[in-house]
């Protein structure tokens, strides 16, 4: 009896669980909160019922024929070849059905692409792994990332129950705010790889592709919060770049715009901070922006993402590190575009005094601000090559001096691909260690570094003569190589002067 009661209780609990779970899911498309999403839904239902009717008719005739013309009732199969009437019927009817389906489908597709007469425009740029929004007619710009609560929970070994976090992995720190009943034109692109911007209740999704601009539009009917995700497999943190759109009444939207502009005009407090404060606040910025690649403990991923712990960049010249973080390199994005001067100062100081490092120095927000354009929190262009600065190339340096200077140049310009120890990435970036180029004819190596080849850019316009001579000498006399030769900046200056200009 007790076993029967326990079984009954288990079955009741299972039935309750299934009934509650069923309430969270549907078997059809959602109608959404925009006219276009409802048009897509209506088109879907129209095509669905046409297909249901065709299926029912075809299978009905088939089952009827099989039942009423079976052999047990004395029927014999007719023997015939070709029937013009039947062939005309089964050609004309499907054609009419396709036309009936094509007319509303074409109308809806044209409506989806009709971005004219938009009342405002928003540019959306996909990054690994966050979204950048530019209100082109308002001068508002910001990045939207996974919210801190979800980011903490999703860390390996966090021990936090994801169900305790509202909208886990579907919430952001800065949502996209739009007005209701306003036609909004979206421009989509990407800074690194292909992403896809999708909010189901808007009724469509659009790919964000590097080097291309895709368009779409929406007009949200009622205020509310609408959530979506990136739907293109864009890398290791693809699952952690959600989208949140908050639709507001026009008056509330106007108030948000004014508040946001005031905050942007006010800027950040650039006053000096204690090193302990910089480190403490930098920890959260590191977790949010850096830990995905370099890992929470700073150990990195061998062969893919360099370690922060005991890194020659992090423990070396702080200005070199700041330049790398602001401008990015290789797979590393330009954080000077994403973070303000205060956040950059905090995270740089944190990496140098935590994660197994104890350099003991710091950089203040004012020093970072000098490297950023006047009046903004972003760098002017993260992708434009840095022009070689003018230096005195007549100075003569010893082999040891060139090697010492070349290490910093290599770390900033080459280590992102060839790795800090020169080991390279097999099948992608060749090793510097024991390289036939680095150990062979120096003039051929200089020509390669100057002009570039394949994925390797030409450094003729991005390095000055001293840095150029230093990095070439460094690669030939470090990283496991001991060629013993070197070249002076004056010789490089002469070669750079003769190099063709773009």
Residue 48 lies in a domain: yes
User: Are both 254 and 125 inside the same structural domain?
Assistant: yes
User: Are both 224 and 134 inside the same structural domain?
Assistant: yes
Give the pLDDT mean for 398-422. 83
pLDDT for 121 beyond 60: yes
pLDDT for 307 beyond 60: yes
Q: How far apart are CA 141 and CA 261, in angstroms?
A: 10
Range of the domain at 242: 120-266
Residue 269's pLDDT is: 80
Residue 243's pLDDT is: 96
For 346, the 3-state DSSP assignment is helix
273 vs 9, which has greater pLDDT?
A: 273
pLDDT for 69 beyond 90: no
First-to-last CA distance in the chain? 89
Residue 288's pLDDT is: 84
User: Are both 155 and 259 inside the same structural domain?
Assistant: yes
Mean pLDDT of the residues in the chain? 84
Q: How far apart are CA 43 and CA 102, in angstroms?
A: 10
**pLDDT tens track for 421-464:** 888 766 667 889 999 999 999 999 998 988 888 667 778 877 88
Contact 499, 450 (CB under 8 A): yes
Angle at 441 between CA 440 and CA 444, to 5 degrees: 115
Partners of 248 in the β-ladder: 179
Residue 191's pLDDT is: 85
Of 244-248, 415-419, 425-429, the range with the highest mean pLDDT is 244-248
The contacts of residue 356 (CB under 8 Å, 6+ apart) are 297, 298, 308, 309, 310
Residue 387's pLDDT is: 41
pLDDT for 206 beyond 90: yes
Burial class (CB in 10 A: 0-12, 13-18, 19+), 500: exposed
Partners of 116 in the β-ladder: none
Residue 7 lies in a domain: no
* Counted domains in the chain: 4
Residue 244 lies in a domain: yes
**pLDDT tens track for 279-291:** 999 998 998 888 8
What is the layout of strands, in order, in the sheet containing 242-248? 176-179, 242-248, 224-230, 195-199, 204-208
Provide the token pair at 457: 């850019």
User: Are both 104 and 128 inside the same structural domain?
Assistant: no
**pLDDT tens track for 342-397:** 999 999 999 999 999 999 999 998 888 887 654 344 333 333 333 444 567 788 88
The contacts of residue 90 (CB under 8 Å, 6+ apart) are none
Q: How far apart are CA 418 and CA 424, in angstroms?
A: 4
Give the pLDDT mean for 21-41. 75
Residue 379 lies in a domain: no
Burial class (CB in 10 A: 0-12, 13-18, 19+), 304: exposed
Residue 77 lies in a domain: no
| Strand boundaries in 236-340, DSSP class E | 242-248
Residue 76 lies in a domain: no
Contact 210, 189 (CB under 8 A): yes
| Secondary structure letter of residue 253 according to DSSP | H
Residue 21's pLDDT band, with cuts at 50, 70 and 90, is: very low
**pLDDT tens track for 130-157:** 999 999 888 898 999 999 889 888 877 7
Q: How far apart are CA 104 and CA 416, in angstroms?
A: 52
Q: How far apart are CA 114 and CA 118, in angstroms?
A: 9
User: Are both 142 and 217 inside the same structural domain?
Assistant: yes
Measured in degrees and rounded to the nearest 5, phi and psi for residue 400 equal -65, -40
Of 14-28, 290-304, 480-494, the range with the highest mean pLDDT is 480-494
Give the DSSP letter string of 116-138: TT-SEEEEEEEETTEEEEEETTT
- Picking from 76-80, 176-180, 269-273, 467-471, which range would have the lowest pLDDT averaged per residue? 76-80
Q: How far apart are CA 122 and CA 176, in angstroms?
A: 10
**pLDDT tens track for 174-191:** 999 999 999 999 999 998
pLDDT for 258 beyond 50: yes
Domain stops at, among 237, 266, 295: 266
What CATH number is attached to the domain comprising 226? Answer: 2.60.40.420
Q: pLDDT exceeding 90 applies to what percent of the chain?
A: 39
What CATH number is attached to the domain comprising 286? Answer: 1.10.760.10
User: Are both 132 and 261 inside the same structural domain?
Assistant: yes
Residue 13's pLDDT is: 37
User: Are both 421 and 474 inside the same structural domain?
Assistant: yes
pLDDT for 1 beyond 50: no
pTM for the whole structure: 0.63
Residue 11's pLDDT band, with cuts at 50, 70 and 90, is: very low
Of 51-60, 295-304, 463-472, the range with the highest mean pLDDT is 51-60
Residue 62's pLDDT is: 92
User: Are both 236 and 297 inside the same structural domain?
Assistant: no
Residue 71 lies in a domain: no
Q: How far apart are CA 282 and CA 196, in angstroms?
A: 30
Domain stops at, among 266, 288, 311: 266
Residue 227 lies in a domain: yes
User: Are both 262 and 279 inside the same structural domain?
Assistant: no
Q: Which of 18, 37, 21, 20 is nearest to 29 (CA)?
A: 37
User: Are both 301 and 403 inside the same structural domain?
Assistant: no
User: Are both 103 and 149 inside the same structural domain?
Assistant: no
**pLDDT tens track for 319-343:** 889 888 888 877 788 888 888 889 9
User: Are both 364 and 261 inside the same structural domain?
Assistant: no
Provide the token pair at 247: 């639709």
Residue 154's pLDDT is: 85
């Amino acid at each position: 009896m007790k076993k029967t009661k326990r079984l009954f209780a288990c079955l009741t609990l299972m039935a309750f669980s299934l009934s509650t779970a069923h309430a969270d899911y549907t078997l059809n498309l959602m109608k959404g909160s925009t006219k276009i999403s409802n048009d897509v839904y209506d088109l879907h239902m129209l095509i669905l019922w046409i297909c249901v009717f065709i299926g029912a008719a075809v299978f009905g005739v088939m089952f009827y024929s099989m039942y009423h013309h079976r052999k047990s009732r004395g029927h014999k199969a007719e023997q015939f070849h070709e029937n013009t009437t039947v062939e005309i019927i089964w050609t004309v009817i499907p054609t009419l059905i396709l036309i009936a389906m094509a007319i509303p489908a074409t109308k809806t597709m044209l409506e989806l692409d009709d971005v004219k007469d938009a009342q405002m425009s928003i540019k959306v740029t996909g990054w690994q792994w966050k979204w950048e929004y530019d209100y082109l007619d308002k001068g508002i710009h910001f990045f939207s990332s996974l919210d801190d609560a979800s980011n903490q929970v999703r860390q390996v070994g966090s021990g936090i129950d994801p169900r305790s976090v509202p909208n886990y992995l579907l919430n952001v720190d800065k949502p996209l705010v739009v007005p209701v009943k306003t036609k909004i034109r979206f421009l989509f692109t990407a800074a690194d790889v292909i992403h896809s911007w999708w909010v189901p209740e808007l009724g469509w999704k659009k790919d964000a592709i590097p080097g291309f601009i895709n368009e779409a539009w929406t007009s949200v009917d009622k205020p509310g919060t609408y959530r979506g995700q990136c739907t293109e497999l864009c890398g290791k943190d693809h699952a952690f770049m959600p989208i949140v759109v908050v639709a507001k009444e026009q008056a509330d939207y106007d108030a948000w715009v004014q508040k946001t502009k005031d905050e942007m005009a006010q800027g950040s407090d650039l006053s000096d901070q204690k090193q302990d404060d910089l480190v403490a606040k930098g920890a959260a910025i590191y977790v949010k922006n850096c830990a995905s690649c370099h890992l929470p403990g700073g150990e990195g991923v061998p062969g893919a993402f360099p370690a922060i712990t005991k890194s020659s960049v992090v423990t070396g010249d702080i200005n070199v590190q700041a330049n790398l973080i602001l401008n990015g390199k290789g797979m590393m994005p330009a954080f000077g575009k994403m973070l303000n001067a205060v956040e950059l100062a905090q995270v740089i100081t944190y990496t140098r005094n935590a994660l197994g490092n104890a350099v003991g120095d710091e950089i203040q927000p004012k020093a970072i601000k000098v490297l950023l354009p006047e009046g903004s929190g972003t760098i002017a262009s993260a992708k434009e090559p840095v022009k070689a600065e003018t230096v005195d190339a007549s100075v003569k340096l010893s082999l040891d001096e060139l090697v010492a200077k070349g290490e910093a140049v290599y770390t900033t310009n080459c280590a992102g691909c060839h790795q800090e120890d020169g080991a390279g990435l097999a099948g992608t970036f060749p090793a510097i260690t024991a390289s036939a180029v680095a150990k062979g004819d120096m003039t051929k190596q200089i020509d390669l570094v100057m002009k570039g080849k394949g994925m390797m850019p030409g450094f003729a316009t991005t390095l000055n003569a001293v840095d150029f001579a230093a990095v070439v000498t460094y690669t030939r006399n470090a990283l496991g190589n001991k060629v013993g030769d070197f070249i002076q900046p004056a010789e490089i200056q002469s070669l750079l002067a003769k190099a063709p200009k773009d």
